Chains A and B, each alone.
Chain A
Amino acid sequence: AQSVTQLDSQVPVFEEAPVELRCNYSSSVSVYLFWYVQYPNQGLQLLLKYLSGSTLVKGINGFEAEFNKSQTSFHLRKPSVHISDTAEYFCAATSSGGYNKLIFGAGTRLAVHP
């Protein structure tokens, strides 16, 4: 069965510092991977997605992620965070045979401090 693991429930960081939010997946089939951001009391916004091709994916708001098949990882990175990046971040996966269903990780709370 497919699963998504986000290794850190909370990540505190100072403003303008780099950050990495970790995500690992397990799947026996081809997988498509996504990172979403959720601000308080709001729905989810897509940051970026990996479908195929280049393993380095660039998204909105300066975020990027790297797909690593050998390590079954899809870590999210940003070289310099802002206070406004404080939010909940979810990694998700779906498979070619998954009928478009997304499997979400538990989420990582990114807290950016001044």
Chain B
Amino acid sequence: GAVVSQHPSWVICKSGTSVKIECRSLDFQATTMFWYRQFPKQSLMLMATSNEGSKATYEQGVEKDKFLINHASLTLSTLTVTSAHPEDSSFYICSAHPGLGPRSEQFFGPGTRLTVL
């Protein structure tokens, strides 16, 4: 099956620093990638949708200047948490969609645990 990787799997950083998380589709081209945030014991909250070569579309309430998303190629999207603060600590999950319409499956990465001290 299709594989999506995320790097790093976990990261600890100091408050005020920026952190970049990579999401790669390893064996297929993803025209669309999604970024989710998940708090402990809660569901996934969609943060933004990114399409290759265009600006990401952010969900209501998500700060686009804080969560920078770049979808530079059909196999790579990055999420940069700028000037991270403890409240940004969370589990971030990406998914990749091959762009064959809503009937086809999204493939999820294993997630990145961010802890901001």
Chain A residues in the interface with B (C-beta under 8 A):
32, 34, 36, 41-46, 49, 51, 90, 94-96, 98-102, 104-107, 109
Contact = CB atoms under 8 A, between A and B. Distances in A.
The 7 tightest CB contacts between A and B, nearest first, are A43-B108, A44-B108, A43-B110, A104-B43, A94-B102, A106-B43, A51-B103
Contacts of A51: 103
B93 A32 contact: no
A32 B103 contact: yes
B32 interface: yes
Contacts, number: 54
Nearest to A52: B103
Given A43-B109, A102-B95, 4 more contacts: A32-B103, A36-B108, A46-B105, A94-B102
B97 interface: yes
B42 to A, nearest CB: 7
Nearest to A31: B102
Contacts of B4: 43
Given A96-B102, A101-B34, A45 B43 contact: no
Contact of B97 (A44, A46, A100): A100
23 contacts: A32-B102, A41-B91, A42-B110, A42-B111, A43-B4, A43-B6, A43-B93, A45-B108, A90-B44, A94-B102, A96-B102, A99-B49, A99-B102, A100-B32, A100-B49, A100-B99, A101-B49, A102-B34, A102-B46, A102-B106, A104-B43, A107-B43, A109-B41
B39 to A, nearest CB: 11
Nearest to A99: B49
A106 B39 CA distance: 11
B64 interface: no
Nearest to B49: A101
B111 to A, nearest CB: 5
B7 interface: no
Nearest to B106: A102
Contacts of A100: 32, 49, 97, 99, 101-102, 106
B111 A41 contact: yes
